[in-house]
Structure 1
Amino acid sequence: MDNPPVDEHIFETVGKCRIKVHNGQVVEIGEPRIRGCPLAKRFEIPVDEISKEGIKKTIERRIRSFGMCTARRKVISDKEFFGFAPAELLACGLRSGMIDAAVIPCDGAGTVIITNPSMVLGIGGLLSGLIFTTPIPEVMDSIEENGGVVFDRATARLDPVGGALLAHRRGFSRIAVPVSDPKIAETIRAFYPAALIFGVHLSGITGEGARRIVAVSDLVTGCASKTIRAIGRKKALLQVGAVIPIFALTHRGIELIMKRVLEADEKFFLDPTRFAVSCKKQPEPLL
């Protein structure tokens, strides 16, 4: 009798620890690499002290809530969890026309090309650090039915460079790509100089890696990286946020942040004395 197809999804999340999900069940949680995370303390089930038990609870809630890593995966959402996180900024870029496609990862689909702001929020709002995923036909069908493009339906592989190439072949000229690997960021910058590169999920990055990714990115998140925060503060043209800062490193990065400020002016304001954007309202709890 043939073995059933493997359903496996691996990603890094709270505490920079590796999570493995099989058939909608958390089957493995690695050792956390950091002790605390300011964002985790704002989850609906707060993770005040990073532990395997706390991480397991929040991942299981995501699986129940929006079907992460399952055929029930919801890929469309208008819910915003943060003011200036990567998903919210990329959705703003699509709404404003500053970018015409985002090349992002999705559990069950791999690298995908998205033009729908609500799909960027649905896919990326609570997903970070996807390392490996296997195909889930229902997820890929949902993405394509809502105007997205799956880079590789057969394997659901993660390939930001290949996704950028496919996006250009499909006629998109103003793409945005979130990346965590300095080498991938450098390759995309070399082949697609006009791409908007967003450095994300950078906790634990080496000093050399931090310098390399900052050198070619338009924006980077500070995450829980002292190195990124130090280099970002020194080189940034604009910083937004304090708990998890976003550093704009180019004028295009500033432009995207300011577009976000303008479209959400009922929630946010620019503090000219600090050159940072602050939030007037308490953010909603996270899943």
Structure 2
Amino acid sequence: MTDEHIIEAIGKTRIVVRDGRVVEVGKPLIRSCPLAEKFSCSVHEMTEEAIRENIEERMRAFGMCNPARQVTDTSDFVLFGASELISSALRNGLVRSAVIVCDGVGTVVVTAPDQVQGIGGRVSGIVETSPIPQVIGRIEGLGGRVLDPATARIDMPAGAAFAYDLSLSPAAVTVATADDAETVRSAHPDALIIAVHTTGVSAEEARRLAAVADLVTACASAAIREEAGPRALLQAGTAVPVFAMTPLGKRVVLTKLQETDRQVLVSGKALPAPGGREPEPLI
């Protein structure tokens, strides 16, 4: 089997890593992102060279897409990132497991907050991946359960069903499509559904995600801001906001705020609330 991993990152740029090397960097869909400028290997100008350097730095720093992949971490990279919010929900008993995606592993069910952060904290959208036995073994050795070790397939509804079959419910489940969100919600009404990787979604897709997800990350999506923002109960952040669409989603964000020692501003106003720089352009 070919060792190949397809990622969409940094402006939803298509990146292919094959046999430990970045072999393809596509064209980014946006020009700039304030979050990308804060990466440890920052991307101020979205050129092929800068994006390649960022991915290669991740591969060196924590082993992304290679057998040395680190799978635990306790550091927050952003306050309201999906992995940070899920980790907090696990620590505080709001969910019992997390169904997420790891490069070299595919869909995985984990119960430890440091595994959620180690797997998801520094990785963007994984489109396809192939199995890396060393990483699979590392996750399983820490108690994680891999949906399909033979193929490392990515299937979030199947991952959610796997978690519930293991009696690890309720589960937090990340989804990137409305189809997956609706399937998970129908099968598991108590799941915490987090919509991620939303840059470029259509207005219809945004409406469907806002209707069933508990938390929706806005990324560089104009449609998510327009569809989810006015319906949200709470907005976390302004440059790249996260919208809490349900009481459970709101509770997850407020629980995360209780944990942080950062200064925060809480203000009642109509949503979505702009402020500061946003990704450019919103698409």
Q: Is TM > 0.5 for Structure 1 vs Structure 2? A: yes
The Cα shift of 1:45 comes to 2.6
Aligned mates of 2:175, 2:86 — CA distance in 1: 13
Query: Which residue number corresponds to residue 10 of structure 1?
Result: 6
1:266-277 alignment, distance < 5 Å: 266-274=261-269
Superposed structure 1 runs of 4+ greater than 3 Å apart: 272-276
Aligned to 1:157: 153
Equivalent residues of 2:64, 2:103 under 8 A apart: yes
Match of 2:168 in 1: 172
CA distance in 1, matches of 2:147, 2:163: 9
Q: Percent identity?
A: 45
Contact 1:239 1:275 in 2 (8 A): no
Task: Note if 1:47 corresponds to 2:43.
Answer: yes
Measured in 2, the distance between the counterparts of 1:230 and 1:33 equals 19
Report the 3-state secondary structure (helix = DSSP H, G, I; strand = E; otherwise coil) of the residue aligned with 2:150.
coil
Distance 2:41 2:111 in 1: 32
Equivalent pairs counted in the alignment come to 271
The whole-number CA distance in structure 1 between the counterparts of 2:159 and 2:200 is 25
Letter paired with 2:166 = R
CA contact (8 A) 2:200 2:221 kept: yes
- The CA distance in 1 between the partners of 2:67 and 2:263, in whole Å, is 36
> What amino acid is aligned across from residue 188 of structure 1 in structure 2?
V
Listed as ranges, the matches of 1:45-194 within 5 Å are 45-194=41-190
1:275 positional shift:
8.6
What secondary structure sits across from 1:269 in the alignment?
Answer: coil
Structure 2-normalised TM-score? 0.93
Is the contact made by 1:238 and 1:275 (CA closer than 8 Å) also made in structure 2? Answer: no
Do the aligned partners of 2:97 and 2:172 also contact (CA within 8 Å) in 1?
A: yes
Q: How far apart are the structure 1 equivalents of 2:134 and 2:147?
A: 15
TM-score, normalised on structure 1?
A: 0.92
Q: Which runs of 5+ in 2 are unaligned?
A: 272-283
Counterpart Cα distance in 1 of 2:184 and 2:118: 25
1:199-221 residue CA offsets vs partner (Å, 9 max, x unmatched): 11100001111111111000101
Distance 2:196 2:270 in 1: 21
Q: Tell me the equivalent position of 2:31.
A: 35
- Counterpart secondary structure, 1:15: coil
Q: Is the partner of 1:259 in helix, strand or coil?
A: helix
Say whether the 8 Å CA contact 2:106–2:154 is kept in structure 1: yes
